[in-house]
């Protein structure tokens, strides 16, 4: 399955509800997303409503088309601002928003990526009017004070330590994007650089809010057990008088072609080194996306895949290894990642990974591999149909980033249409040596064992 963004930062993340891959996929699938009703208010706010009365819960999502790649002077602002959306408004004290949702039996969260900021709520159906009222309240009356910003900066710095600074995988990811993108605003981390987070001002937040949190930059998706007409009416009344922006600033920057291998090393006190490699790939919505998905699946989908067999099982040099095509709104990355066994050489893992990439360019994949990969993608894709939250996420993403809902049938057909020539063609087009970016996270060269006794 394709990654939809490189790095998702939830405001609040320790209930990791990893749904085990729920499956399905078949011609006779009822794609409920096609029943979505799309309405645009006069001020440009897009509202997506999709009724499904199976269970008495509803998902409400507010998608803002702003992410770290829209940041102009202060990195990490989109994400820090997302936190500030929970810090109170004219009629709601700090933290109260989340508490009210919880006290009605709901859960709420938010996340920021390089391209978007998303506020999500799942709640028993009868509380939907409350959710709409609360979202409208913070859009209309957000209150950002020096005091709450000061403490939230510290919260975000703790988040940065947890996700990035003290985590080998986080260090690898940050270095990889900084290396791969030299011009595009994807080069800095979503969470931002430490010094920027520490120096963000109330004024920065207010400017950001008035520039990007405007109705013509927002998509609301409501999915589940509710009355579409009544909800739409309430959204119209609550959000309808927000003023649109005449213009929303965007970067015009293009990434110049890469003309040579780039390498970076990060030294970190660890035992299992991390290898991360990236190539430039096309952005979201590009017709080569499906071929890249299938190529990635052939490389690393399941235990019968090429990379698992070779690096993990046969050679016993990696603990895990995988590839993924990640689509961003304005660019793409085909990335490969490996956790190197403490007793193995990272250079050898890199060499064998590259051999497998070269094989994709040089030899056609087998019919059997092709079929298997397509099936795996199809089954995973239809997994999206199982919860209101997931369906709201799908339609919200599609409309926010692509401007339309991609019918599942079209996506499945595009996957089915990929053939061995396509795989070879995209491998030759994108996975080229001169466009490679390589990061090694390794222990410092003279790593000495710390020998501290009891205190």
Partner 1 sequence: MSGFARLAGFIGLASLIACAGSVDPPIWDRPPPPIADSPVVDASKLHRFELDNGLSVIVLEDHRLPRVSLGIALRRGSASVEPERAGLAGFTAELMKRGAGDRDSLELASAIDALGSVFGVGADWDSITAQIWGLTRDLDSMLGILADVVLRPRFDTEEAVRARGELLAALERATDDPHYLERRFAAAALYAGARAGLPLSGSPETVAALDAATAREFHARMFVPNNAIFFASGDLDAGELLERVGAAFGAWPAGEIPDAGPPLPAPTPTARRILVVDRPDLTQARITLAHEGISRTDPDRLAASLLNEAIGGSGFSSRLMQRVRADAGLTYGVSSGFSLRRGGGSFAVATFTRVAEVRTVIDLLLTELERARREPPAGLELEEMRALQVGRFALGIETSDAVLDSLVNLEIYGLPEDSLDTYRSRIRAVTAAEVARLALELLHPERAAIVVVGPAAVITPQLQDLGPIEVVQP
Residues 139-168 that bind partner 1 (CB under 8 A): 140, 150-159, 161-162, 165-168
Both structure tokens of 297: 């699946």
Site residues (CB under 8 A) for partner 1, limited to 318-347: 319, 339, 341-343
Both structure tokens of 109: 């969260």
Classified as helix, coil or strand, 382 is helix
State the minimum distance, in angstroms, from the CB of residue 280 to partner 1. 29
Single out the residue of 234, 244, 285, 348 in contact with partner 1 (rule: CB under 8 A): 234
Residues 411, 417, 423, 424, Cα dihedral to 10°: -150
Single out the residue of 246, 303, 445, 446 in contact with partner 1 (rule: CB under 8 A): 303
Enumerate residues 6+ apart whose C-beta is below 8 A from 91.
137, 141
Alpha carbon 98 to its chain centroid, in Å, reads 22
Nearer to partner 1, 302 or 364 (CB): 302
Nearer to partner 1, 36 or 108 (CB): 108
Nearest to 341 by CA among 420, 426, 273: 273
State the minimum distance, in angstroms, from the CB of residue 153 to partner 1. 7
Nearer to partner 1, 381 or 401 (CB): 381
Single out the residue of 386, 402, 428, 434 in contact with partner 1 (rule: CB under 8 A): 386
Single out the residue of 49, 120, 238, 437 in contact with partner 1 (rule: CB under 8 A): 238
Using CB under 8 A as the criterion, what x/- string covers residues 345-374 for binding partner 1? -----------------------x--xx--
Helices (H), 40-86: 77-84
State the minimum distance, in angstroms, from the CB of residue 96 to partner 1. 8
DSSP string, 285-325: T-TTHHHHHHHHHHHHSSTTSHHIIIIIIIS--EEEEEEEE
Nearer to partner 1, 29 or 420 (CB): 29
With binding defined as CB under 8 A, does residue 1 bind partner 1?
no
**Number of shown-chain residues binding partner 1 (CB under 8 A):** 109
State the minimum distance, in angstroms, from the CB of residue 453 to partner 1. 7
CB count within 10 Å of CB 444 equals: 10
Enumerate residues 6+ apart whose C-beta is below 8 A from 422.
291, 294
State the minimum distance, in angstroms, from the CB of residue 351 to partner 1. 19
Both structure tokens of 99: 């508490």
With binding defined as CB under 8 A, does residue 275 bind partner 1?
no
Phi, psi of 287 (to 5 degrees): -65, -15
Site residues (CB under 8 A) for partner 1, limited to 80-139: 86, 91-92, 94-96, 98-100, 102-108, 122-124, 126-127, 129-130, 132-134, 136-137
**Chain position carrying tokens 């071929």:** 291
Triad 381, 383, 386: Cα angle to 5°: 140
Reduced 3-state DSSP string for 7-19: CCEECCCCCCCCC
Single out the residue of 18, 54, 73, 446 in contact with partner 1 (rule: CB under 8 A): 54
Site residues (CB under 8 A) for partner 1, limited to 10-39: 12-15, 20-26, 28-30
Nearer to partner 1, 278 or 344 (CB): 344
State the minimum distance, in angstroms, from the CB of residue 435 to partner 1. 29
Count Cα atoms within 13 angstroms, Cβ side, for 242.
29
Nearest to 77 by CA among 212, 217, 177, 222: 212
- Stated as kind and residue range, the H or E segment containing 139 is helix 128-141
CA distance 202 to 159: 20
State the minimum distance, in angstroms, from the CB of residue 238 to partner 1. 6
Single out the residue of 44, 178, 193, 227 in contact with partner 1 (rule: CB under 8 A): 227
Both structure tokens of 363: 């030899």
CA distance 327 to 333: 7
Single out the residue of 145, 201, 304, 345 in contact with partner 1 (rule: CB under 8 A): 304
Single out the residue of 40, 53, 56, 421 in contact with partner 1 (rule: CB under 8 A): 56
With binding defined as CB under 8 A, does residue 247 bind partner 1?
no
State the minimum distance, in angstroms, from the CB of residue 119 to partner 1. 13
Q: Are 418 and 364 in contact (CB under 8 A)?
A: no
Site residues (CB under 8 A) for partner 1, limited to 389-448: none
Single out the residue of 5, 200, 296, 387 in contact with partner 1 (rule: CB under 8 A): 387
CA distance 168 to 270: 8
Site residues (CB under 8 A) for partner 1, limited to 283-302: 301-302
Stretch that binds partner 1, among 203-211, 281-289, 312-320, 398-406 (CB under 8 A): 312-320
How many residues are recorded in the chain?
455
Stretch that binds partner 1, among 53-61, 111-119, 415-423, 426-434 (CB under 8 A): 53-61
């Amino acid at each position: 399955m394709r990654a939809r963004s490189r790095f998702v930062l939830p405001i609040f993340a320790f209930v990791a509800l990893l749904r085990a891959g729920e499956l399905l996929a078949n011609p006779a699938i009822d794609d409920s997303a096609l029943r979505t009703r799309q309405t645009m208010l006069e001020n440009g706010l897009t509202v997506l409503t999709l009724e499904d009365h199976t269970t008495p819960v509803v998902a409400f999502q507010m998608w803002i088309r702003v992410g770290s790649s829209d940041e102009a002077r202060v990195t990490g602002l989109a994400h820090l601002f997302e936190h500030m959306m929970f810090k109170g408004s004219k009629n709601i004290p700090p933290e109260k928003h989340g508490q009210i949702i919880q006290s009605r039996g709901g859960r709420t969260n938010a996340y920021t990526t390089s391209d978007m900021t998303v506020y999500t709520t799942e709640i028993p159906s009868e509380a939907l009017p409350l959710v709409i009222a609360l979202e409208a309240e913070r859009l209309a009356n957000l209150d950002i004070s020096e005091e709450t910003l000061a403490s939230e900066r510290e919260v975000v710095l703790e988040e940065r330590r947890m996700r990035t600074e003290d985590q080998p995988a986080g260090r690898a990811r940050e270095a990889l994007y900084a290396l791969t993108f030299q011009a595009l605003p994807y080069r800095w981390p979503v969470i931002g650089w430490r010094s920027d987070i520490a120096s963000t001002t109330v004024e920065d937040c207010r400017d950001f809010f008035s520039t990007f949190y405007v109705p013509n930059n927002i998509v609301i998706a409501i999915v589940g057990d509710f009355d579409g007409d009544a909800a739409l009416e309430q959204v119209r009344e609550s959000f309808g008088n927000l003023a649109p922006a005449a213009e929303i600033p965007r970067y015009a920057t293009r990434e110049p072609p890469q003309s040579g291998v780039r390498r970076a090393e990060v030294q970190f006190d660890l035992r299992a080194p991390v290898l991360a490699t990236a190539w430039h790939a096309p952005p979201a919505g590009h017709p080569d996306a499906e071929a890249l998905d299938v190529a990635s699946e052939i490389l690393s989908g399941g235990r019968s895949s090429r990379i698992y067999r070779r690096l993990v099982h046969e050679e016993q040099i990696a603990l895990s290894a995988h590839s993924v095509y990640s689509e961003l709104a304005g660019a793409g990355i085909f990335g490969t990642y490996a956790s190197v066994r403490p007793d193995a050489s990272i250079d050898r893992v890199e060499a064998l990974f590259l051999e497998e990439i070269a094989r994709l360019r040089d030899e056609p994949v087998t019919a059997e591999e092709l079929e298997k990969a397509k099936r795996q993608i199809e089954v995973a894709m239809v997994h999206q149909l199982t919860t209101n939250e997931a369906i709201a996420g799908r339609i919200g993403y599609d409309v926010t980033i692509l401007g339309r809902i991609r019918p599942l049938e079209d996506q499945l057909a595009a996957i089915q249409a990929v053939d061995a020539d396509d795989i070879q063609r995209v491998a030759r087009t994108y996975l080229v040596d001169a466009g490679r970016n390589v990061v090694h996270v390794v222990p410092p060269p003279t790593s000495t064992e710390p020998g501290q006794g009891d205190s």
